[in-house]
Structure 1
Amino acid sequence: MSFTIAIVGRPNVGKSTLFNRLVGKRIALVDDQPGVTRDRREGTGRLGDLDFTVIDTAGFEEAAIESLAGRMRAQTETAMAQADAILFLIDARAGLTPMDRAFAAAVRKIGRPVVLVANKSEGRQASSGVYEAFGLGLGEPVGVSAEHGEGLSDLYDALREALPEETRAAAAATKAEVLAEREAKFLAREAKAAGEEPVDPGAPTRPIRMAVVGRPNAGKSTLINRLLGTDRLLTGPEAGITRDAIAVDLDWGGRAFQVHDTAGMRRKSKIDDKLEKMSVSDGLEAIRFAEVVVLLMDATAPFEEQDLRIADLVEREGRALVLGLSKWDLAEGEAGALTRLRDEVGYRLPQLAGLPVVAVSGLTGAGLDRLMQAVIDIHAIWNRRIATHALNRWLDGAIGAHPPPAVSGRRLKLNYITQPKARPPSFVVFCTRADAVPESYKRYLINGLRESFDLPGTPIRLTLREKNNPYATRAKGR
């Protein structure tokens, strides 16, 4: 990206709504109550021919540094220091408030170009608030409606005026990217027409998508901050600080990751707050988007029912899973504790036999190398493909050791097996009377695949399919 802008303002002026409008997706949580956003969230925004990085921030509040509101303000100040320009939002309908004036003074001290944005300016009742914004001394206000997409052309002009060199370079870069994309699509069509597989030798290795999930106050944000080596995410002793699923880029040992921090997931029956429901829904979406999920389980209170529910959800979604025993610095004093917990994982999560279990501490940094290596290893297993001839040799041996049972006096026949896809490893067994094969025999086959082809800890999908009967359409008696 050629430049970065930070969206700032007091609570409930529409910062997240404008952020969603600029990035073109509803990825930031939005609600009528103030203070929804806590962590700063980054995204790729587009306005006309400009591509840029946009940062959504928490609402500005006067508070003690050690308090939650004070830590949120520190995150906002960090975002302003990183930005090339600042979009300072006010609520045109509410008019100026003392908090707006205090925040305007703080923004002025940063020394960055400021674009004053009067949000919620649709309708006549907002016109007085737009004119009142001149009193902040931050230049001419730009009236917009982030909710309805009005005034964005004026915002575009204001950005070009505030950052003339950066926006000129951004427009040129965007044009070059569009031309390169068109050329790549043309080459792909040509290669497909010629029967060739299009290859882009210059394409970088795609990052591993990873989500960190768990119950509230399991240490998810603290762990990610330790991996990043900076206080990127808001942390503290209070449970439920994280609300949005925040994505951050991480380079670990030369391997790229995109890590999603998520809100703590409580039992569904205990959730009655609308905002918490939105936060959990955001976390579930992060699980579906991820390739590898790290489930952090508090080592001081392991194997709560909710931990097992989350693990089962990850398995049903078909994602690779790594179990992290968080806060290990508080539990490692007991002799043999890790071995005992690993044995208990095999008993409580038999559907994920061989699940990697790593003891970690976000506070001290212990176990982080082992955790990330486990993520890389399970990602490779999750992507593994097995040759058809090897699968069928295994199937012959499995049937010979334990033939399928007879149903209604007729023996079931398993003819052959193939793997149509990975991510997770998925297998199809062609057989007779697929609906009559008992679940116990399916589990026998799955466990055999896991053990014989070294597929520990990853979900395995096994489908039984009947072969087409070539005589089914012939008339009877012929």
Structure 2
Amino acid sequence: MSKPIVAVVGRPNVGKSTLFNVLAGRKISIVKDTPGVTRDRIYADVTWLDKQFTMVDTGGIEPESKDLILSSMREQAEIAIATADVILFVTDVQQGVIDADYKVADMLRRSGKPIVLAVNKVDSFKKYEADIYEFYNLGIGDPYGISAASQLGLGDLLDEVVKHFPAGSAEEEEDERPRIAIIGKPNVGKSSLINKLCGSQRSIVSNIAGTTRDAIDTVVKFNGQEYVFIDTAGIRRKNKIKEDLERYSIIRAVSAVERANIVILMIDATEGVTEQDAKIAGIAHERGKGVIIAVNKWDAVVKNDKTIYEYTKKIRDTLAYMPYAELIFISAMTGQRITKLYELIDMVIQNHSLRVATGVLNEIMAEAVALKQPPSDKGRRLKLYYITQVAVKPPTFVIFVNDKELTHFSYTRYIENKIREAFGFRGTPLKFIIRERKDKG
């Protein structure tokens, strides 16, 4: 089930970042990070009561002139309209309603997406009551007075935001077809790949324009099986400063990955693997999706007998946090290895929802412990009592131990490798939850 996406839109200096950090529950950048994944604070997972959602910060630029502010606001609004389920429009009570706010409000209103209006910097409701009312003039419903800095009024604001979430998208739940997001930097050939995947079959069942977002879902039938491909090409950027484009493609990737089971990360063979690729791959890894790395334009690389090994090593080193990802060298132009890609997709889908019997898991764990003693600290040794699988997509395991503090990351990795040796689980991350159970005497 994909999490709803809430996009934050607003002029420079209205306090978007403060609000973002407060809601994300972390001061700045990301605290708990996957080794090897660096990431800008563009998106964060937020839980409010029993609802979870992904919050996306649409705009980072603070241009000099008024016209530039307006055009950058328009772009933020476009991104929000394209990717979000709910738009959170942030304004500033101390500056009042200004022209740019009206123009953006018009755009947002025409989108038909739910909009929640936050009026920030209200450090006293008494003092600013009349000023908050002024924001009714924007014509997008009730303004919610908040102070991100003092954390006032956030509860009411979030209650309003979660009200607009799509009801437990039943169709998505019932739709058993594999959903594959194709992600990667701009111009790596995502659209060509989709065309090739369809074209060789010429039996596109339908092109459904994404209902809430404009990612186009393409349904392809191959060997009797239907696949839904989610393309993130979307809006073409016109001008574009590099940072903007990067931010934009990351936001698009977040919204596509959220809706997929399997992710194909496309890398341009002529450029090699880049930091931007690592950022985009990190999204899929953190979201626990099955991953296939497709190195495109392989036909354009001058090769010798070592090229493929050198390339593979470079990718594995840069994306060291996802050694499970499957790797394939393709050409979307010539169609090289495209049918092989379908075989990989099928395999990864199977592994992503594979269940292992508890008895077998415990045998593997007992054997692993016998081969390599668990770590100890100040005379106290880690004991592993029991392991069981509690979920799929991704496969998730709970290990019961005597002391959580003693469970070192590297020992969990060791157990993971033993499980992979037995069952493969190629292409899918595995998740481990460590629970403490008191010593039985």
What TM bracket, shorter-length normalisation?
Answer: 0.5 to 0.7
Q: Any idea what SS the aligned residue of 2:386 has?
A: strand
Q: Any idea what SS the aligned residue of 1:365 has?
A: coil
Q: 2:398 aligns with which of 409, 428, 431?
A: 428
Counterpart CA distance in 1 for 2:294 and 2:440 is 52
Partner of 2:358: 388
Q: How do 1:2-41 and structure 2 match up within 5 A?
A: none
Q: Which amino acid aligns with 1:445?
A: I
Q: Any idea what SS the aligned residue of 2:321 has?
A: helix
Contact 1:351 1:459 in 2 (8 A): no
Q: Are residue 439 (structure 1) and residue 413 (structure 2) matched?
A: no
Counterpart CA distance in 1 for 2:309 and 2:223 is 27
Q: Deviations over 1:205-249 (max 9, x none)?
A: 8211000001111000011011111799xxxxxxxxxx9522111
Partner of 2:342: 372
Counterpart CA distance in 2 for 1:271 and 1:343 is 28
Q: 1:358 aligns with which of 323, 328, 347?
A: 328
Q: Any idea what SS the aligned residue of 2:305 has?
A: coil
Structure with max Cα Rg: 1
Return 222-231 or 313-322, whichever deviates more: 222-231
Partner of 1:402: 372
Counterpart CA distance in 2 for 1:282 and 1:354 is 24
Decide whether aligned partners of structure 1 residues 281 and 309 sit closer, same or farther in structure 2, where only a CA change above 3 A counts.
Answer: closer
Q: Any idea what SS the aligned residue of 1:216 has?
A: coil
Shift in Å, 1:392: 0.4
Q: How do 1:7-156 and structure 2 match up within 5 A?
A: none
Q: Any idea what SS the aligned residue of 1:352 has?
A: coil
Partner of 1:304: 274
Decide whether aligned partners of structure 1 residues 447 and 423 sit closer, same or farther in structure 2, where only a CA change above 3 A counts.
Answer: same
Partner of 1:335: 305
Contact 1:406 1:412 in 2 (8 A): yes
Shift in Å, 1:346: 3.5
Q: Deviations over 1:123-182 (max 9, x none)?
A: xxxxxxxxxxxxxxxxxxxxxxxx99xxxxxxxxxxxxxxxxxxxxxxxxxxxxxxxxxx
Q: Any idea what SS the aligned residue of 1:311 has?
A: helix
TM-score normalized by structure 2? 0.55
Q: Any idea what SS the aligned residue of 2:417 has?
A: helix
Shift in Å, 1:389: 0.3
Q: Any idea what SS the aligned residue of 2:257 has?
A: helix
Q: Are residue 250 (structure 1) and residue 220 (structure 2) matched?
A: yes
Contact 1:206 1:256 in 2 (8 A): no
Q: How do 1:282-301 and structure 2 match up within 5 A?
A: 282-301=252-271
Partner of 1:200: none
Q: Any idea what SS the aligned residue of 1:334 has?
A: coil
Q: Any idea what SS the aligned residue of 2:426 has?
A: coil
Q: Which amino acid aligns with 1:217?
A: N
Counterpart CA distance in 2 for 1:205 and 1:332 is 43
| RMSD between aligned residues | 3.8
Partner of 1:321: 291
Decide whether aligned partners of structure 1 residues 227 and 294 sit closer, same or farther in structure 2, where only a CA change above 3 A counts.
Answer: same
Return 454-463 or 351-360, whichever deviates more: 351-360
Decide whether aligned partners of structure 1 residues 405 and 280 sit closer, same or farther in structure 2, where only a CA change above 3 A counts.
Answer: closer
Q: Which amino acid aligns with 1:370?
A: K
Q: Which amino acid aligns with 1:220?
A: K
Counterpart CA distance in 2 for 1:378 and 1:297 is 19
Shift in Å, 1:278: 5.6
Contact 1:352 1:456 in 2 (8 A): no
Partner of 2:243: 271
Q: Deviations over 1:344-388 (max 9, x none)?
A: 434333433242211111111111011111111111111110000
Q: Which amino acid aligns with 2:392?
A: A
Shift in Å, 1:335: 3.0
Partner of 1:415: 385
Higher relative contact order (CA closer than 8 Å, sequence separation 6+): 2
Counterpart CA distance in 2 for 1:306 and 1:281 is 13
Shift in Å, 1:332: 5.6
Decide whether aligned partners of structure 1 residues 294 and 428 sit closer, same or farther in structure 2, where only a CA change above 3 A counts.
Answer: same
Return 385-394 or 327-336, whichever deviates more: 327-336
Counterpart CA distance in 2 for 1:411 and 1:470 is 14
Shift in Å, 1:406: 1.4
Counterpart CA distance in 2 for 1:278 and 1:345 is 23
Counterpart CA distance in 2 for 1:380 and 1:469 is 37
Instruction: State the identity %.
Output: 31
Decide whether aligned partners of structure 1 residues 303 and 231 sit closer, same or farther in structure 2, where only a CA change above 3 A counts.
Answer: farther
Contact 2:376 2:406 in 1 (8 A): no
Q: Any idea what SS the aligned residue of 2:304 has?
A: coil
Q: 2:319 aligns with which of 346, 349, 359?
A: 349
Q: Any idea what SS the aligned residue of 1:380 has?
A: helix
Partner of 1:223: 193
Counterpart CA distance in 1 for 2:350 and 2:399 is 24
Decide whether aligned partners of structure 1 residues 227 and 436 sit closer, same or farther in structure 2, where only a CA change above 3 A counts.
Answer: same
Q: Any idea what SS the aligned residue of 2:335 has?
A: coil
Q: Any idea what SS the aligned residue of 1:351 has?
A: coil
Q: Any idea what SS the aligned residue of 1:420 has?
A: strand
Contact 2:330 2:338 in 1 (8 A): yes
Q: Which amino acid aligns with 1:287?
A: V
